[in-house]
Chains A and B, each alone.
Chain A
């Protein structure tokens, strides 16, 4: 059945987040690499799903991920066959935000295990598929919008903004959600093609303190850590 059917325990989540931030600060004060992402699966929170994690010590803000994402997910019909698009970053599901002092924050769907966007979707579950207009894909765990059922209410966008990183935007013409990472069918291309190896696709660990944070929040925290201000 659905992998997203998990008990939403807000207190617990915030508690974990606090530990994460706290432990980062401790690590930082001892000069250890705070951005390291442990690849050991055992370290992962048991109910965590693998998602795209960013190693901010490696990201240089080049935006290659945007172009790659856009190219892979916006196929074009060329001579009657579907080909990868050119890579217009406007259509990317991962977006890099630049800040001053120099901080770059790639922002991408956190694949929240409790999926506040799906919870906020007012469309009732289909009796056959058990799916709302926004649902989690069985195979990849990515969150998918069903354009045939979506009414463009924007609740998912609000929920994402309030409870997670705020990556959902609404299509100007249809009002339907955009910008949700589909994990490229399970093999995220941005991770594969990042020239700096700054992206990883794996379960989150306690060291990753940026889960569900907006780019502004992440930038604020990184500015403090990087620039001592």
Chain B
């Protein structure tokens, strides 16, 4: 019998798509306390379910877990995130005894899905098995059904988003789904929500492997909380934090005005942008793709996630040119705009937007897709591959039409697309050349933040537990904090230091929900515990010190333009910083394995066998 924890239902919705069995199972109260929810609880559930290393991420055994956090559903600002946790189909270690060795993957998306899982009465949805035919899951409180999705199979996410909600005949359902890329098992396929918000980094491929097209959820509940009055007071306080003359207001104004697009100019100036497959950090044509340009040519309105005062999402329509009339569901954001823009030397804003639209419609992770196309462009320029290899595509730098065709080939796995869909690591291996400029860590493609002039980002990428991750954090403390935020269900943007909500404020909110008194430092320890459990999962699969590496390019190819001209990483310095990082983490400096004492301190003795 599980002890009921305030603020939770202590209930996980288990769905086995092989047998069609649907059950509601309890969650251990200790796990709720130690891993809180979202990314953390997902990792613990994954650890408990996968008892052996090397299982195939696309097998029935690999669970696909959707998790709101303890904040989700309560009207706290920006508590919109849904975390998807699974074993990654994208990553692989340099050496391992297991054929399917890969890291954990966690990816979270904003919108309205996570809160709705909470409203439906669950702390998470745990999906295993594989349906023999395409299906979707419909959840209306306790009424859960697995239904035929054959008619939807092959449909792009934009069209599906429109049609599916009509077919459900109730707009109060919140849906997430995969596109053709996920169906075709492209490893870096995404799960999409509201036609644009995405959980990337491979989770869509796992959903595809289960023949699961979509999930629709709606509900009417909220769990009891420990201290009602305190929570109402603290929620009001948190909402007011973003009003009037406050730091929160400054933060929300930045996002309201430009979304993440405010970064284009800033990052390019500092030499921190991913340009020309990471060869440069500055994009000379940045003024053609920045926020001002997008506002003129594309944006119509701001769009928020659940209870969010930031509204960073920009929607609109391409107002002129070749792609006139094409919808802009979101963008360009900094990531999508850079990876399918500057990284490919494309400065035509409408072209970038068309690429982003296609990427979302296919349900592809745009970071990975942009990275892969950048690699192919460079390989083409260097003569490693020719036009015939590319199926007749003239994949030159800045070529929008060629990039559109490449995205299509990746999604359909046709011709060169079959190989390109496996990611840059697989591509460079197969081509037996190009590993110097295959921009990935542990097999996952690097994002739009370049490293040569921003060495700290190198630590973020190299030590991330899901492979190259720009949101991992550059220091131990930051990583623990971000891990915690990912586990609470709140958005990182609202917690940006120094303008956003502080860990102390988050601790107060969590305490009033759960009744468990914890200081900010104690909460950061929760983040540390989760990060270490992820690390132990990866270590068990065979990932070690050698895998916490960066591509050669960062050490060899200095920038040739911009204010940071000449910038390049120093190998020895990187090794020293990484060594210090391990020491601070309490990990063995040779193997990178967390020390026994560290694991014991965090209550992770069960991982040590």
Is the pair A62, B301 in contact by a Cβ cutoff of 8 Å? no
Which A positions have Cβ atoms within 8 angstroms of B? Answer: 57, 60-64, 67-68, 71, 76, 78, 83-84, 86-91, 95, 97-102, 104, 193, 195-196, 215, 226-229
Is the pair B171, A97 in contact by a Cβ cutoff of 8 Å? yes
Task: Judge if B579 is at the interface, Cβ distance under 8 Å.
Answer: no
Q: Provided the pairs A62-B304, A84-B232, A87-B74 are in contact, do residues A100 and B194 lie with their beta carbons within 8 angstroms?
A: yes
Is the pair B311, A196 in contact by a Cβ cutoff of 8 Å? yes
Is the pair A101, B327 in contact by a Cβ cutoff of 8 Å? yes
Q: How far in angstroms is the closest Cβ of chain A from B67? A: 20
Q: How far in angstroms is the closest Cβ of chain A from B139? A: 14
User: What are 25 A-B pairs at a CB distance below 8 A?
Assistant: A61-B304, A62-B308, A63-B112, A63-B304, A64-B239, A64-B309, A67-B75, A71-B232, A83-B229, A86-B75, A86-B225, A87-B75, A88-B119, A88-B220, A90-B220, A91-B220, A97-B171, A98-B194, A100-B162, A102-B301, A195-B252, A196-B309, A196-B311, A227-B317, A229-B317
Is the pair A76, B221 in contact by a Cβ cutoff of 8 Å? no
Q: Could you give, for residues 280-315 of chain B, a 1 whenever the CB lies within 8 Å of some chain A CB and a 0 otherwise? A: 000000000000000000001111111111010101
Is the pair A100, B231 in contact by a Cβ cutoff of 8 Å? no
Task: Give the CA-CA distance A68 to B75 in the complex, in Å.
Answer: 8
Q: How far in angstroms is the closest Cβ of chain A from B250? A: 15
Q: How far in angstroms is the closest Cβ of chain B from A63? A: 6
Partner of B75, one of A71, A83, A95, A104: A71
Of all chain B residues, the one with the shortest Cβ separation from A105 is B171
Task: Give the CA-CA distance A176 to B185 in the complex, in Å.
Answer: 49
Task: Give the CA-CA distance A196 to B301 in the complex, in Å.
Answer: 12
Task: Give the CA-CA distance A34 to B493 in the complex, in Å.
Answer: 32
* A76: chain B residues within 8 A (beta carbon): 228
* A229: chain B residues within 8 A (beta carbon): 317, 325
Q: Could you give, for residues 207-221 of chain B, a 1 whenever the CB lies within 8 Å of some chain A CB and a 0 otherwise? A: 000000000000111
Partner of B301, one of A57, A78, A97: A57
Task: Give the CA-CA distance A88 to B306 in the complex, in Å.
Answer: 12
Q: Could you give, for residues 66-82 of chain B, a 1 whenever the CB lies within 8 Å of some chain A CB and a 0 otherwise? A: 00000001110000000
**New contact pairs (6) apart from A62-B305, A90-B219, A101-B317, CB-CB < 8 Å:** A60-B301, A62-B308, A62-B311, A101-B329, A102-B303, A226-B317
* A100: chain B residues within 8 A (beta carbon): 158, 161-162, 165, 194-195, 329
Q: How far in angstroms is the closest Cβ of chain B from A101? A: 5
Between A76, A84, A101, the greatest number of chain B beta carbons within 10 A of the residue's beta carbon is seen for A101
Task: Judge if B222 is at the interface, Cβ distance under 8 Å.
Answer: yes
Task: Judge if B243 is at the interface, Cβ distance under 8 Å.
Answer: yes
Is the pair B112, A98 in contact by a Cβ cutoff of 8 Å? yes
Is the pair B228, A193 in contact by a Cβ cutoff of 8 Å? no
* B172: chain A residues within 8 A (beta carbon): 95
Task: Give the CA-CA distance A89 to B116 in the complex, in Å.
Answer: 10
Is the pair B304, A60 in contact by a Cβ cutoff of 8 Å? yes
* Tally of A-B Cβ pairs under 8 angstroms: 102
Of all chain A residues, the one with the shortest Cβ separation from B232 is A84
Task: Give the CA-CA distance A87 to B172 in the complex, in Å.
Answer: 16
Between B225, B308, B319, the greatest number of chain A beta carbons within 10 A of the residue's beta carbon is seen for B308
* B112: chain A residues within 8 A (beta carbon): 63, 98
Is the pair A101, B315 in contact by a Cβ cutoff of 8 Å? yes
* A95: chain B residues within 8 A (beta carbon): 172
Task: Give the CA-CA distance A68 to B309 in the complex, in Å.
Answer: 14
Chain B interface residue count, Cβ-Cβ cutoff 8 angstroms: 46
Task: Judge if B242 is at the interface, Cβ distance under 8 Å.
Answer: yes
Is the pair B171, A98 in contact by a Cβ cutoff of 8 Å? yes
* B317: chain A residues within 8 A (beta carbon): 101, 226-229
Partner of B303, one of A61, A78, A90: A61
Q: How far in angstroms is the closest Cβ of chain A from B89? A: 28
Task: Give the CA-CA distance A51 to B176 in the complex, in Å.
Answer: 35
Task: Give the CA-CA distance A63 to B112 in the complex, in Å.
Answer: 10
* B232: chain A residues within 8 A (beta carbon): 71, 83-84, 86
Is the pair A102, B329 in contact by a Cβ cutoff of 8 Å? yes
Task: Give the CA-CA distance A84 to B235 in the complex, in Å.
Answer: 12
Q: How far in angstroms is the closest Cβ of chain B from A54? A: 13
Of all chain A residues, the one with the shortest Cβ separation from B171 is A97
Of all chain A residues, the one with the shortest Cβ separation from B231 is A86
* A68: chain B residues within 8 A (beta carbon): 75
Is the pair B309, A62 in contact by a Cβ cutoff of 8 Å? yes
Is the pair A102, B315 in contact by a Cβ cutoff of 8 Å? yes
Of all chain A residues, the one with the shortest Cβ separation from B223 is A86
Of all chain A residues, the one with the shortest Cβ separation from B73 is A88
Please report which residues of chain B, range 252-282, place their CB below 8 angstroms from some CB of chain A when the two chains form the complex. Answer: 252
Q: How far in angstroms is the closest Cβ of chain A from B81? A: 14
Please report which residues of chain B, range 43-74, place their CB below 8 angstroms from some CB of chain A when the two chains form the complex. Answer: 73-74
Q: How far in angstroms is the closest Cβ of chain B from A100? A: 5
Is the pair A60, B243 in contact by a Cβ cutoff of 8 Å? no
Task: Give the CA-CA distance A60 to B308 in the complex, in Å.
Answer: 9
* B235: chain A residues within 8 A (beta carbon): 87
Closest 10 pairs (CB-CB, A-B): A67-B75, A62-B304, A102-B315, A60-B304, A90-B220, A60-B311, A195-B309, A87-B75, A88-B222, A227-B317
Q: How far in angstroms is the closest Cβ of chain A from B279? A: 35
Please report which residues of chain B, range 388-403, place their CB below 8 angstroms from some CB of chain A when the two chains form the complex. Answer: none
Task: Give the CA-CA distance A78 to B226 in the complex, in Å.
Answer: 11
Task: Give the CA-CA distance A90 to B225 in the complex, in Å.
Answer: 17
Task: Give the CA-CA distance A71 to B73 in the complex, in Å.
Answer: 13
Please report which residues of chain B, range 147-181, place their CB below 8 angstroms from some CB of chain A when the two chains form the complex. Answer: 158, 161-162, 165, 171-172
Q: How far in angstroms is the closest Cβ of chain A from B222? A: 4
Task: Give the CA-CA distance A181 to B171 in the complex, in Å.
Answer: 20
Task: Give the CA-CA distance A78 to B228 in the complex, in Å.
Answer: 7
